[in-house]
């Protein structure tokens, strides 16, 4: 099992995801009560971590969950696509980043109940459409007096985005923005229900040995480079991720590097780790070695709703 520790660390607000998944205090990169935690040599492989990764890969194998995953619609890109030439000014950019929109006009009724995902590689899937009001609400989550973007109307169209099965064309609401010639697009479908994982989470384990991943950030380099967000505390050297590639999956096992013993603040940090794969991801499922679940794609301002 290979390891990649290329990282860019940014301090963010505390993420409930890690605490909920581990049930542990992660401030010092270890489980609650593990006061004897010592510094970890990042170069030393962990037989336990590798064994867990192989268990996860084998459990998924030809499981019902893997079959359901291969047939479902799981987006791996933002549900929103910005107007061409992006924003006119910094105020508009700030309004978008803070989800501050104003609706001036009427939103249309949904012309039909169902919409279709069509994959470039072949195949399609029919799913319920999200109405324009619900799509707008997903955009407008702020009502402050700061800069805002004004929506003047919408119509149903299409957009193309990356999914777990490759590029796909999906229905999308085209929101007209005041001052822009091209619309802001928002996917009009909810992702398929996440299949029940065929293996349980790792359970009580030191974060120096294994920890949950935060989210998938992006896949680049024709599928050979994967960027993930991994969590760590304020009393360690950061995070690293081991990679186990199989024919049908890529298991990512995150852990804390250089955890130190002693008192520590509960501050939680997130860093982006870039992983170089031997082969393109393709249609292989990206799995979290800790949870045994597919690594969630994280939309701006939080995890994708498809993985809840």
Of the listed ranges 2-11, 40-49, 141-150, 247-256, the one predicted with least confidence: 2-11
What confidence category does residue 3 fall into, taking pLDDT thresholds of 50, 70 and 90?
low
pLDDT computed for residue 42 by the predictor: 44
**Burial status of residue 279 (CB atoms within 10 A of its CB: 0-12, 13-18, 19 or more):** exposed
Instruction: Report which of residues 39 and 143 the model is more confident about.
Output: 143
Find, among 95, 15, 98, the residue nearest to 300 by Cα.
Answer: 98
Residue 58: half-sphere exposure toward Cβ, Cα within 13 Å: 6
Instruction: Report which of residues 19 and 119 the model is more confident about.
Output: 119
Instruction: Report which of residues 35 and 143 the model is more confident about.
Output: 143
pLDDT computed for residue 261 by the predictor: 65
pLDDT computed for residue 10 by the predictor: 34
pLDDT computed for residue 8 by the predictor: 36
On the question of pLDDT at 270 being above 80, the answer is: no
Instruction: Report residue 155 CA to chain centroid gap.
Output: 28
Instruction: Report which of residues 245 and 236 the model is more confident about.
Output: 245
Each residue's pLDDT tens digit, 190-223? 999 889 999 999 988 887 789 888 888 888 888 8
As a whole number, the mean pLDDT across the chain is 81
Each residue's pLDDT tens digit, 172-187? 999 999 999 999 999 9
pLDDT computed for residue 41 by the predictor: 37
Each residue's pLDDT tens digit, 21-80? 333 333 333 333 332 233 333 445 688 999 999 999 999 998 999 999 999 999 988 899
Each residue's pLDDT tens digit, 99-139? 999 999 899 999 999 999 999 999 999 999 999 999 999 99
pLDDT computed for residue 251 by the predictor: 97
pLDDT computed for residue 266 by the predictor: 55
What confidence category does residue 142 fall into, taking pLDDT thresholds of 50, 70 and 90?
confident
Ordered by start, the domain boundaries in the chain are 2-70+195-299, 76-187
């Amino acid at each position: 099992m290979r390891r990649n520790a290329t990282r860019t660390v940014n301090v963010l607000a505390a993420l409930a995801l890690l605490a909920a998944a581990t049930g542990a205090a992660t401030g010092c990169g270890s489980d609650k009560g593990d006061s004897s935690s010592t510094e970890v040599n990042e170069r030393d492989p962990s037989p336990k971590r590798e064994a867990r990764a192989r268990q996860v890969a084998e459990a998924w194998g030809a499981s019902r969950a893997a079959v359901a995953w291969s047939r479902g619609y799981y987006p791996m890109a933002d549900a929103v696509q910005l107007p061409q030439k992006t924003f006119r000014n910094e105020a508009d950019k700030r309004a978008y980043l803070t989800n501050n929109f104003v609706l001036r006009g009427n939103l249309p009724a949904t012309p039909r109940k169902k919409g279709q995902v069509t994959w470039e590689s072949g195949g399609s899937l029919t799913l319920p459409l999200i109405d324009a009001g619900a799509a707008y609400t997903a955009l407008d989550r702020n009502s402050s007096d700061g800069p805002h973007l004004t929506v003047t109307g919408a119509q149903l169209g299409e957009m193309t985005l990356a999914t777990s099965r490759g590029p796909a064309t999906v229905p999308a609401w085209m929101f007209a923005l005041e001052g822009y010639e091209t619309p802001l697009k928002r996917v009009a479908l909810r992702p398929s229900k996440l299949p029940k994982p065929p293996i349980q989470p790792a359970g009580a384990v030191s974060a120096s040995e294994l920890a949950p991943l935060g989210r998938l950030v992006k896949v680049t380099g024709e599928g050979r480079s994967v960027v993930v967000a991994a969590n760590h505390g304020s009393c360690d050297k950061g995070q690293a991720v081991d990679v186990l590639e199989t024919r049908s999956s890529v298991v990512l096992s995150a852990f804390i590097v250089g955890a130190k013993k002693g008192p520590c603040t509960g501050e939680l940090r997130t860093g982006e780790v870039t992983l170089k794969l031997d082969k393109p991801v393709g249609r292989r499922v990206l799995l979290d070695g800790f949870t045994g679940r597919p690594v969630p794609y994280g939309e701006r301002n939080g995890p994708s709703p498809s993985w809840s």
